[in-house]
Homo-oligomer: A and B are copies of this chain.
Amino acid sequence: MTDLKTPYLIYLGNTQIQGLAKTGLGLVYWRPERCLGQLREEGCVADLGIPDMGIAEAVIAGARTLVLGTAFIGGLMPSEWTGRIVEALESGLDVASGLHIPLRSFPNIAKVARTTGGVLHDVRLMKGPFPVANGLPRSGQRLLALGTDCAVGKKYAALAIHREMIAQGMDATFRATGQTGVLIDGQGICVDAIVSDFVAGAVEQLTPAAEVDHWDVIEGQGALIHPAYAGVSLGLLHGAQPTAFVVCHEDGREELSAFPGHKTASIAEIIDLTVLLSRRVAPGIRCVGICLNTSQLNEAEARERLTDLSVEYGVPACDPVRFGVSGIVRNLQ
């Protein structure tokens, strides 16, 4: 399981598009207390709105990990990145990356890390060993964010629900299951990178037995109807043994993202499948909310749509980004 040392210096290279710095933006939004500063190359357009720092300065200020907070375009890592990563290692930092290319696959980076003892966190590489799931009942409350597709806001919903639980005085832990979530929270597992036999077991380990009123808020992955990723979603569902779940959906999306010709699920379909497939390991599971991305609607339309959904499904419906998730969380206490 990944576990990053804090605080972070966030690396942005010379990113020309703010959206490419998604990981860095997520870090600063969700875990500002972990973010000491940003390191930007000359001409970088992306900006996280936190202090600019060089590596030496960040180390003096207490930084422990350089986190790659942006992506690059094309297949090759820019040479200034590898230079900065080596410099960070030589300055005593660990380095964390959610990129597809593992840091350790660069011979010079791997070599310097061996010398300095700095840890290379390639959060997409899950080494294990992980246990096989046992499926035994365990104490504590667990909420899983499911979706009608990939990229419909499951991570955002889980982070928002966790933050709201804390704000409402509840005892809760966010559990990351994907690379961006792991980098944001500094902990977690990347379930889609785990050997299939151990997915459910790894999630059991990630979300262990807890106090009866403690909530693990678990980031979902994929969708139970997805032609490529449904197996990941089901292993995650079984390992999580949720007591509650929310369904995330993007209003107006009709085709699965990047899978033309495949329809998204309906919210009802995901609710029914989740309850059915949980029957044995989480028989008490219930849907406790719907999280809708309403960015295609104006505010009045959005409120109307959420009210309609709430009536239709008998649970609070919200747009986490636009209106927050307090209705869902209030209902859990």
Contact = CB atoms under 8 A, between A and B. Distances in A.
A231 B222 CA distance: 12
A105 interface: no
Interface in A178-218: 191-197, 199-201
A86 interface: no
Contacts of A236: 231
Contacts of A197: 192-193, 228-229, 232
A192 B200 CA distance: 12
Interface string A275-304: 011001100000000000000000000000
A28 interface: no
B196 A232 contact: yes
Nearest to A279: B225
A231 B232 contact: yes
Contacts of A277: 230
Interface stretch (A40-48, A127-135, A154-162, A163-171): A127-135
A32 to B, nearest CB: 31
Contacts of A259: 134-135
A135 B229 CA distance: 10
A228 B133 contact: yes
A199 to B, nearest CB: 5
| Residue of A134, A228, A262, A281 with most partner-chain B CB within 10 A | A228
Given A192-B196, A192-B197, A199-B196, A228 B134 contact: yes
Contacts of A261: 136
Copies of this chain: 2
Nearest to A227: B135
A27 interface: no
A201 B263 CA distance: 19
A41 to B, nearest CB: 31
Contact of A238 (B194, B231, B238, B280): B231
A267 to B, nearest CB: 16
A12 interface: no
A85 interface: no
Interface string A233-251: 1111010000000000000
Contacts of A230: 200, 234-235, 238, 277
A277 B276 CA distance: 11
Contacts of A231: 196, 199-200, 231-236, 238
Given A195-B193, A227-B134, A227-B200, A262 B280 contact: yes
26 contacts: A132-B228, A134-B227, A135-B262, A136-B261, A192-B195, A192-B196, A193-B196, A194-B195, A194-B196, A195-B195, A195-B196, A196-B235, A197-B229, A197-B232, A200-B229, A200-B230, A200-B231, A201-B228, A225-B280, A230-B235, A230-B277, A231-B236, A231-B238, A232-B235, A234-B234, A263-B280
